[in-house]
Structure 1
């Protein structure tokens, strides 16, 4: 017979969303048990640790940045689209500064050092930056731009710092966390209410070996997919052979916060076939388990076709002076757009193919900026791009060598340079801050196409999930009702970033939706039904 545990609230998944749900539920007086298939952290610990926040945070004010809730809302309204109701978005923006304060109370460190250049992710000297497309041409006039990327203060990719602080806050509250515990099924009573979960749990030496294998499957396995698959395969074999059954009862509610499904090839192939072949950004726990558990209980899904594919052109910032073209030699988009939007346009409109054309002065400036503007992995990727670039004495020469239409590329360069000389707007809307003439050869075409390359991967994560009530986080059914006793948060649920991703918006949504789900799960009165 399976062992059994009892709690008021059971949280499935121990990343940012699960941790925030557990903290809020515990603070509301609930006894909480958190379950995670691996050692905890999920995609959060592997991330850059950036939280999108604005409207006048303490860090913005200390950096001399002027921002308002209205300006933040105006920008995000254009990015978020119909992913959430406007009322929800306004609440998120209004509560944004308080959310950063709450995270600081849990021990997450932030800093007001403002990055002076546009980048995909700042170096270890800066922790506040423009993390989206706020300053890009497409949003000029929408709202006054402001840097809203709040990076947890820590060297390297600082998601591990953010997660460690949340995990520490949970320990201080005495919240029970069971790692190396794989949730297999929801337990439903005769009315269809979620009353617990059935799991398989490792303990002792098998659990310790499983944790080591899983940790290395994430990093450095993130950069070496074959190694990741090998290590995860061994961890999965330990699960099959040594895990023991466990049932965890929930007297009030279950919260699903188990990440997305980028590690589930079959789900990606079914829902977003154009995005196959990217580097899964997350862990093997992002296999859709939370979504499938919710569906089995009658939960509805949305935005499963939305995937964020990151094709950043920076750092170094000098590369923004180039022009991004397709195989015909025509411009793809404003090069200053956020990397996920560039990735989307390349995948969905250009078959994943794209090249960045730069001239010799731009290339030399980029090389000089590498050390000061890049973390180690960014520097490796930029050096790879510059070293493998196709070069030519003239625009026509470099086009022919790269397999791009010479006439099309020549026309694009002429149009670009003519607009600069005339002082008129850029043909695709790039702000003047980033425009440079392309006139001094030799010229280089940097291949930024979205295709599998170990030295220049295209990270991807899924954005859709279970539909939830936006006031409570309770899972919705296809008919518009609610699944009793079941909540969802983070990338297991449709949320703020389910249409369009900018750096920090997913983690901000994990905090926002996780806290919401935890607060309401703790006071679930057993009356919300289908």
Structure 2
């Protein structure tokens, strides 16, 4: 049996993105010999993310910005977002460990700073690295939990996930973690008792095919972020190289395997089976987010949870002026408080309004939004807003004509706007709880409607990620079966596992969960008793 293995390590980590890197570092720091494998070059979805870590309870950056956040305030808020997806004890531990986990990232070279964004935004510009990254300021959240900015953006220009991933990957290598890139896990190897003892893989060997695979995968990842149809053209050539040139590679895991291979948003079949309402959205991540890790865990006996939960992000802020508009569905009914975080807006659109919504603004709002555009946006946000302001809208001199052109019920839209304008003129509290500073009558024609529906539009896509995964023991991250018993030798982290982020999403919560669950799994597997070599 020993001769069947091509390599061996105490711990094998499948997927070398944010969760996988944290698991690998933690396992190495607890004395384990670690091998990480990645289908591409490492980094995963973390490397193309905004690099936001949701942290609170009194971080140094909150204190420097003048905020006195507490663990209890963070817990009160996250209870509203997460529901009962994890136990109260686990959620409290997540909040209580937040400051330490941020310090742990810093100890591995990840930079942060305390420059507070002075306005609500979906993602700050390069001048700001601390902001309100969720619904903290909006009712009912602000009524039940003391608000504080908890979105800690990694310091780096543009979308700074690339800095976060690079620092973590470098830290893993400094601690002796071996990395096998361009290596796809195809199966978990179990012994006669059902314990996971290794991983069967296929690895693209050195040579021209490997070089081409690396080049195509980098281009595919970049294109998928901004224009999936172009990225999709590279999917088949990548798979063709893997099918034709990859060779078997079997790795022995003496203590266990950690699954950290991302979600399943790029697996259209799984998406249709578990979350069919989201098929019209735009997948965000890498094509490695195809559910491989989840399916490997299932074949080993693991159960799953929250597979129906998908986070679809409908952002129209920045520029901030657009939140003064009114978001309605096809019947002209109000969808939600327009100040809510984009993932919450997306959830309301998909699950309560049939996937269709339209942001209605007037000339005053559009003019102010154009004025704010240069100051409040990074280039990709500016590109999207420019599309909306030029060709991505319908325009009319009356609400009735606007409704006809946009496909909205005219009577419903008129009734909604009349009620909204009357409340605005009377200075009354907005029915949806919107901040009074952003409630003004929509009365200055022409009027504009931006289509905020789920379906993908070339210049205004609705990006989404999956939130469900394998069920795990909340103390160790060990994968559990449907009856609650543990699959021995198998652990999961990040979007491969049900965790803090598996009910709803706010910016930074997924990466924070990757750190929390990755460290948990790495620590548990490293300190687990290994099986004797057979």
Superposition TM-score, scaled by structure 1 size: 0.97
CA distance in structure 1 between the partners assigned to 2:41 and 2:530 by the alignment: 32
CA distance in structure 2 between the partners assigned to 1:396 and 1:140 by the alignment: 36
- Alignment correspondent of 2:427: 423
Matches within 5 A, 1:267-306: 267-306=270-309
- Alignment correspondent of 1:486: 490
- Alignment correspondent of 1:255: 258
Show structure 2 runs of 5+ residues with no match. none
- Alignment correspondent of 2:477: 473
- Alignment correspondent of 1:63: 65
The answer on whether the counterparts of 1:9 and 1:25 sit within 8 Å (CA) in structure 2 is yes
The answer on whether the counterparts of 1:223 and 1:454 sit within 8 Å (CA) in structure 2 is no
The answer on whether the counterparts of 1:2 and 1:246 sit within 8 Å (CA) in structure 2 is no
The answer on whether the counterparts of 2:14 and 2:36 sit within 8 Å (CA) in structure 1 is yes
The answer on whether the counterparts of 1:133 and 1:139 sit within 8 Å (CA) in structure 2 is yes
- Alignment correspondent of 2:148: 146
- Alignment correspondent of 1:506: 510
CA distance in structure 2 between the partners assigned to 1:221 and 1:67 by the alignment: 37
Does 2:363 align with 1:370?
A: no
The answer on whether the counterparts of 1:415 and 1:427 sit within 8 Å (CA) in structure 2 is no
- Alignment correspondent of 1:352: 355
User: Aligned to 2:213, which of 204, 207, 210?
Assistant: 210
- Alignment correspondent of 1:44: 46
The answer on whether the counterparts of 1:497 and 1:505 sit within 8 Å (CA) in structure 2 is yes
Question: In the comparison of the two structures, how many residue pairs are matched?
Answer: 527
User: Aligned to 2:520, which of 499, 516, 524?
Assistant: 516
CA distance in structure 1 between the partners assigned to 2:520 and 2:149 by the alignment: 26
Partner secondary structure for residue 141 of structure 1: helix
Partner secondary structure for residue 220 of structure 1: helix
Partner secondary structure for residue 234 of structure 2: helix
Partner secondary structure for residue 81 of structure 2: helix
* Counterparts in 2 of 1:182 and 1:2: CA distance versus 1, 3 Å: farther
The answer on whether the counterparts of 2:34 and 2:176 sit within 8 Å (CA) in structure 1 is no
Partner secondary structure for residue 143 of structure 2: coil
CA distance in structure 1 between the partners assigned to 2:458 and 2:398 by the alignment: 30
- Alignment correspondent of 2:324: 321
The answer on whether the counterparts of 1:3 and 1:245 sit within 8 Å (CA) in structure 2 is no
RMSD of the TM alignment (CA)?
A: 1.3
- Alignment correspondent of 1:21: 23
- Alignment correspondent of 1:445: 449
CA distance in structure 2 between the partners assigned to 1:186 and 1:36 by the alignment: 15
- Alignment correspondent of 1:170: 172
TM-superposed CA distance for 1:285, in Å, is 0.5
Deviations 1:154-206 (A, max 9, x none): 11111100000001111211210000001000010100001010111112122
Does 2:143 align with 1:134?
A: no
CA distance in structure 2 between the partners assigned to 1:352 and 1:377 by the alignment: 24
User: Aligned to 2:243, which of 236, 240, 243?
Assistant: 240
Deviates more, 1:196-205 or 1:480-489: 196-205
CA distance in structure 1 between the partners assigned to 2:437 and 2:36 by the alignment: 48
- Alignment correspondent of 2:77: 75
Deviations 1:224-258 (A, max 9, x none): 22322221211111111111111110110100000
Does 2:384 align with 1:381?
A: yes
- Alignment correspondent of 1:180: 182
Deviates more, 1:234-243 or 1:508-517: 234-243
Show structure 1 runs of 5+ residues with no match. none
Partner secondary structure for residue 418 of structure 1: helix
CA distance in structure 1 between the partners assigned to 2:233 and 2:359 by the alignment: 35
CA distance in structure 2 between the partners assigned to 1:66 and 1:439 by the alignment: 41
- Alignment correspondent of 1:229: 232
The answer on whether the counterparts of 2:19 and 2:493 sit within 8 Å (CA) in structure 1 is yes
Partner secondary structure for residue 162 of structure 1: helix
Deviates more, 1:202-211 or 1:394-403: 394-403
TM-superposed CA distance for 1:221, in Å, is 3.1
TM-superposed CA distance for 1:144, in Å, is 1.4
User: Aligned to 1:433, which of 434, 437, 449?
Assistant: 437
CA distance in structure 2 between the partners assigned to 1:402 and 1:210 by the alignment: 44
The answer on whether the counterparts of 1:6 and 1:248 sit within 8 Å (CA) in structure 2 is yes
- Alignment correspondent of 2:529: 525
Matches within 5 A, 1:391-410: 391-410=395-414
Deviations 1:95-137 (A, max 9, x none): 1111111100010111111111111111111111111011112
TM-superposed CA distance for 1:337, in Å, is 0.9
TM-superposed CA distance for 1:477, in Å, is 0.7
CA distance in structure 1 between the partners assigned to 2:60 and 2:42 by the alignment: 30
Deviates more, 1:344-353 or 1:493-502: 344-353
CA distance in structure 2 between the partners assigned to 1:192 and 1:127 by the alignment: 47
Superposition TM-score, scaled by structure 2 size: 0.97
